[in-house]
Chain A
Amino acid sequence: MVDRIAEWWRPYRELLGSRLRAQLTYRRSFALDVLGSIGAGLVEFAEVYVIFSNVEALGGLDFAGVALVFGLAGLAFSLADLVVGHLDALPRYLRTGTLDAFLLRPLPVLTQLVTSDVSLRRLGRTSVSVTILAIALPLNDIEWTAGRVALLIIAPIAGAVIYAAIFVIAGAVQFWLIEGAELTAAFVYGGNYAASFPASVFALPMRVLFTFVVPAAFVAYLPTLVLLDLPGPVGLPQWLGWCTPLAAAAIWGVALTAWRAGVRHYTGAGS
């Protein structure tokens, strides 16, 4: 069993290994990229700070609560960005014909694309999010149970899986668009923005959109409701906070369907 997994993993280990070696060859450039990524994370958090210098609470959460949402969402996003963020290079691959090279290798196209790069510089953003979480967690009054500890670990992972699915859906759409980088950015970063704030700040239709259509609220806000034992706003009961893995599974179903349709469109099998 272990042997079979190792053999399945072998091409991807080799591909990722070669990417890592290539990045670490240029150490100074790599260090600057990491610093840039940290800076971007800090600037985004400054936005939250500015808002709270004017208001006491946002969507029923105080500053510590919003920082928790922001930290959880940021951690999930940076992990997804690290693993699949380079899917936004797909329009370039389509134009230059690199995708044909992927189709000529005996591996699925999506896994080849995912392992075609890994941007370690995005770890800068991960470190900002972990720091914010480390500060925000003690500031909040959390009654720790085994379930809540498990949720704290599962939420960022399931959240990253949700973001990854959003990246894949945005990538799949590129097969129909020729110049779709803007749309991808709007979709992916819009989703991230929606997830970084309490969903209760949105009007009901938007709240439903960002929960049940784009499952952004599942990434951070709903798990935070569980951690803080707060009742949710209308339409979002607290127990939904336990359902982040289910939301992740559901959106991956959509993502893989969209991706297959996209590849079929590229090969001219679909319409």
Chain B
Amino acid sequence: MIISVRDLRREFIVRKPAGRVRRTRAVVHAVDRLTFDVAAGSAVGYIGANGAGKSTTIKMLTGILVPTSGNVRTCGLVPTAERKALARRIGVVFGQRSQLWWDLPLAQSYRALAAIHRLPEQAWTGRRDELVDRLDLGAFLETPVRQLSLGQRIRGEIAAALLHSPDLLILDEPTIGLDVLSKERLRVFLAEQRAQHGTTLLLTTHDMDDVQRLCERIIVVDRGRMAFDGTLPELVERVGAERVMTLDLHEPSPPLAGIRGTTVVHVEPDGLRQRLAFSPGETTAAQVLAAVSERADVRDLAIDEPDIEDVVRRLYLSETSLS
């Protein structure tokens, strides 16, 4: 197991003013009795609403924060006690926080990072060239980081985190703010790294496509507690999240009601564009399309996947109604 978490807790003490001088102390359980393992080589999506405890967990996994109680082992090491040894074996990318030097070009940043990790000269330059090639960094390798676009900078950050060939790559919101094309290229790259080097991936994200494309396992946390641990289809089935098929038709058509497993959610006044919602557990996109084709001539279609916020919200709702 590359990550092993047992009964992990982290409390914060929040002091609030109560009256003119007095202050009250409140204990906030940012992470509350989490237990999970991550096998080497796997890819896990770590999901939850803002403030659910994702960042706190990552900080404890990487040695930035000490647990209040419980056990963490990352790469078999105790993160805070063996911080420096651990730093050689993991790479961490924060989408919203740069770890590069803003006034240095990437080429110099990588030289500095290689020295920081004490990588032998002949070993790291090969790795750098591979990353520059795969992430397509060549065009802006000599541009100071502060002049890079967000997409370029994130690619630069990911190369920086992978330069020392870590066993585990932790990504905190890696695709936030990126355009569709940049997101897609990043996902292709990460999947490829995993296949070629066996790098374990742990990523937090708000983007359902990230999870769908990269992760075979999802962990959902809610207010510091484990809310779900399983695959994406299992999650979707459990909360009954719906996919929505948007159909553009050649001819105006009456509402496509009555197709098994679907409900009509929207029909434009001319009937040329219609939206059908369906549950992945009950029918498939192909079956829906086949049924629609019998009744109308489909020109184009798009499928909206369930929004991650929506899935998580439904998960919370189902939890509360159960308890």
* Interface, chain A (partner B; CB < 8 A): 7, 10-11, 13-15, 18, 21-22, 96-98, 100-101, 103-108, 267-269
* Chain A residues whose CB sits within 8 angstroms of the CB of B66 once the complex forms: 267-269
With A104-B87, A106-B88 given, name 10 new contacts (CB 8 A).
A14-B116, A15-B115, A18-B108, A22-B103, A100-B59, A100-B97, A106-B87, A108-B84, A267-B66, A268-B65
Asked whether, in the complex, the Cβ of A103 is within 8 Å of the Cβ of B83, the reply is yes
Contact B62 A104 (CB under 8 A): yes
Chain B residues within 8 Å of A100, by CB = 59, 64, 94, 97
Contact between chains at A22 and B99 (CB < 8 Å): no
Asked whether any CB of chain A lies closer than 8 Å to the CB of B112, the reply is yes
Q: Given A14-B111, A101-B99, A267-B66 in contact, is the A22-B83 Cβ separation under 8 Å?
A: no
Tell me if B53 is interfacial: C-beta within 8 Å of chain A: no
Does B6 lie at the interface of the complex (its beta carbon under 8 Å from any beta carbon of A)? no
Q: Would A106 and B64 count as touching, CB distance under 8 A?
A: no
- Docked CA distance A104–B104 (Å): 19
Interface of chain A, main secondary structure: helix
Name the residue on A nearest B112 (C-beta).
Answer: A14
Interface contact B80-A11, CB-CB below 8 Å: no
- The distance in angstroms between the C-alpha atoms of A96 and B96, with both chains bound, is 11
Chain A residues within 8 Å of B116, by CB:
11, 14-15, 105-107
In the complex, the answer to whether A101 meets B97 with C-beta atoms within 8 Å is yes
CB distance from A249 to the nearest CB of B (A): 26
For chain B, which range describes its interface: under 10, 10 to 19, 20 to 34, or 35 or more residues? 20 to 34
Pairwise interchain contact A7-B118, C-beta atoms closer than 8 A: yes
**Shortest Cβ distance from B101 into A: residue:** A18
Q: Which residue of A lies closest to B10 (CB)?
A: A268
When distances are taken between beta carbons in the complex, the residues of chain B under 8 Å from A107 are 84, 116
Q: CA separation between A104 and B79, bound complex, in Å? A: 10
Interface string of B108-125 (1 = CB under 8 A from A): 100110011110000000
Whether A15 and B112, one on each chain, are in contact in the complex, defined by CB atoms closer than 8 angstroms, is yes
The reply to whether A10 and B118 form a contact with Cβ atoms under 8 Å apart is: yes
CA distance A10 to B111 in the complex (A): 11
A261 to chain B, nearest CB (A): 14
For B94, B103, B104, B117, which residue has the most chain A Cβ atoms within 10 angstroms? B103
Contact assessment for A267 and B84 in the assembled complex, using a CB-CB cutoff below 8 Å = no
Q: How far is the CA of A134 from the CA of B29 in the complex (A)?
A: 63
Instruction: Report if B85 contacts A (CB, 8 A).
Output: yes
For the complex, what is the distance from the CA of A130 to the CA of B10, rounded to whole Å? 53
Chain A positions within 8 Å of B83 at CB level: 103
Q: Does B92 contact A (CB under 8 A)?
A: yes
CB–CB A97/B97 < 8 A: yes
Is B224 part of the binding interface, using a Cβ–Cβ cutoff of 8 Å? no
**Would you give the shortest CB distance from A23 to chain B, in whole angstroms?**
9
A11–B98 Cα gap in the complex (Å)? 20
